[in-house]
Amino acid sequence: MIISHRHRFIFAAVPKTGTHAVRQALREQMGAEDVEQVRLFVEKRFPWAELAAVRHGHLSLQQIRPYLGEDAFGGYFKFAFVRNPFDRFVSYCAFMMRDRTDFQQWPQAVMRHFLFEAPPEDHILFQPQSHLLLAEDGRTLLTDRIGRVEDMQASYDAVCARIGIASRPLDRVNASPRGDYRRYYDPALIDGVAARYARDLELFGYDFEGLA
């Protein structure tokens, strides 16, 4: 997550949505008064002890709201990027097996393990994207704009135009080499992902084929 007091924005870094590429570009525009929390490639922590103790940079908007106060939280432009949950789940499985060959050899077995046999409920990368973006009521999106991984550069350009900073081509960071996500699925896996990430599919307008 990045909070820019200079440019009055909050970037909520949803995991597995190209967040590191966006962070790299945004850092070029940050001032000394701006703050970031991140634990991969670069380590930076927020100035609030309770949040600094969190062992990742994927904090929710609801988590940081009390630390900013309602005036700043309400007045700052809040944005995030989201991704088709079916694609994101494949990316998650590949990432978790990045130091082994299991996913390359038996992708559906790995997917079934995480989805049905031993779902890592508390792992921030496994949790629904909406968990980071919803208000306390569990229904209201706190973001002012949602960008999409499927249209990453255009989404980033639009964000930059809104907050008044220069855009630039995004780098490719922390990506895993693999093919079309749809080729990894069978009907049971499609149903399993659809059930687990139903809220994301509804909120962000996706289905198995892409944008609904």
The region of weakest confidence among 63-67, 94-98, 149-153, 177-181 is 177-181
Evaluate if residue 179 carries a pLDDT over 90: no
Q: What is the pLDDT of residue 40?
A: 81
Evaluate if residue 163 carries a pLDDT over 80: yes
Sorting pLDDT into bands at 50, 70 and 90, what band is 156? very high
Sorting pLDDT into bands at 50, 70 and 90, what band is 178? confident
Q: What is the pLDDT of residue 174?
A: 63
* Ordered structural domains, the chain, with CATH: 2-211 (3.40.50)
C-alpha triplet 20, 21, 22: angle, nearest 5°: 90
Q: What is the pLDDT of residue 172?
A: 84
Q: What is the pLDDT of residue 24?
A: 95
Q: What is the pLDDT of residue 173?
A: 74
Evaluate if residue 176 carries a pLDDT over 70: no
